[in-house]
Amino acid sequence: MRSLACLLPTLLLATTIGCARAPAPQCPEPAPAPAPAASAPAATEKPAGFLSAATAAADVAQRINAGDAEGLFARFSPAMQQAVPVAALQPTFDGLVAARGRITGVTPIEAGERSGRFRLVAERGEWALQVTIDDEGRIAGLLVQEPESPAPPVARSAPMGLPFRGEWLVFWGGDRKELNHHVDHPSQRRAADLVIVDASGKSHKGDGRALTDYYAYGQDILAMADGVVVSVVDGVHDSPIGELNPYIAPGNMVVLRHEGEVHSVYAHLLPGSIKVKPGAKVRRGQVLGACGNSGNSSEPHLHVQLQDGPRFEKSWGIEAVFAEATVTRDGAAAPRTDYTFLKGDKVAPPAKGKK
């Protein structure tokens, strides 16, 4: 079954039309179009275009069940017909049904008007389907492959220390999209964005045009637990207010490895402020660098997250648990133990006299 799945991306080649709003995390470059292995069947009448990716996905499922390779080929764009000869479709259809039975349902994972990802539920398992249609409603990209592994449950860290001094506001944090815009990203699913605000709720003084107007700018950022420095990025310039740098999204950052292969990430740091080097041991509360506005950052803030590996694209996010904190929520301040970041909270280290 695994060998069949490996063949599918080759046989059902995604001939994309750019990367406009494609829901998949990556947009692979289309392979050069090979010469057709067999001439296309003569089309007596051009079929009507699909109205959406969802209708295209449903049609694909029906044609796989019916073994109708020629019917699906007729719905391809010219580029797809050149890239995927009709002779290659029939054995693929037969292999899909032989491996897991007929398709009994199509469930959208993330579907837009022109592209989408879907679960193909079969009698003995599932497939993952990606489909893209062009401006004329023809199939311009098609990929059937093994489904993604389900996300593991969100683990919680051992109690840690806060990554800052003083009181900071949790601008994004929590376990739902309305609380935390990071939750859909595997390694960032419990990340937090933190700023400092004044009594009026503003994150800056003056008109906020200068980076130095922001209260968080230049503040020390601290290690949340004992660990070893895995990687350091420095030299990324701060972005002026109103500009973003998506090409180096984390900006300057430090990644630490802690006990149990938990890794902490501190991003958007001030260029030239990082005080540690890869391989160095650090202690909880040690200064790593200063808050800046490097990378894909709209204003000076700390992006902090825990994950189960050193690389963003290969890791799952972990929820950071803080041993003690003073938390102001709904206007009332109270000491809390085993605290986790939540949007709207103002968070500070425990009051003096407490650890």
**What domains can you pick out in the chain, each with its CATH number?**
2-145 (3.10.450), 168-348 (2.70.70.10)
CA atoms within 13 A on the CB side of 283: 2
Between CA 234 and CA 297 the distance in angstroms is: 15
Residue 46: the pLDDT is 54
**Least confident range of 1-15, 81-95, 109-123, 163-177:** 1-15
CB 285 within 8 A of CB 222: yes
Residue 293's pLDDT band, with cuts at 50, 70 and 90, is very high
Angle at 307 between CA 350 and CA 278, to 5 degrees: 90
Beta bridge partners of 291: 269
The DSSP line for 258-315 is -GGG-EEEEEEEPTT-----TT-EE-TT-EEEEB--BSS-SSS-EEEEEESSS-GGG-
Distances (CA, A) of 252 to 126, 221, 233, 348: 41, 12, 5, 24
- What pTM did the predictor assign? 0.66
The DSSP secondary-structure symbol of 221 reads E
Kindly give, in sequence order, each residue whose CB lies less than 8 Å from that of residue 10, ignoring residues fewer than 6 positions away: none
Residue 15's pLDDT band, with cuts at 50, 70 and 90, is very low
Residue 161: the pLDDT is 98
The span from the first CA to the last CA of the chain, in angstroms, equals 56
Kindly give, in sequence order, each residue whose CB lies less than 8 Å from that of residue 200, ignoring residues fewer than 6 positions away: none
CB 300 within 8 A of CB 195: yes
Residue 148: the pLDDT is 79
The model's pLDDT over 208-267, given as tens digits with 9 standing for 90+, comes to 999 999 999 999 999 999 999 999 999 999 999 999 998 899 999 999 999 999 999 999
Q: What percent of the chain has pLDDT over 70?
A: 86
The model's pLDDT over 156-213, given as tens digits with 9 standing for 90+, comes to 999 999 999 999 999 999 999 999 999 989 999 999 999 999 999 999 999 999 999 9
The model's pLDDT over 36-80, given as tens digits with 9 standing for 90+, comes to 444 444 444 556 778 899 999 999 999 999 999 999 999 999 999
Between CA 153 and CA 128 the distance in angstroms is: 21
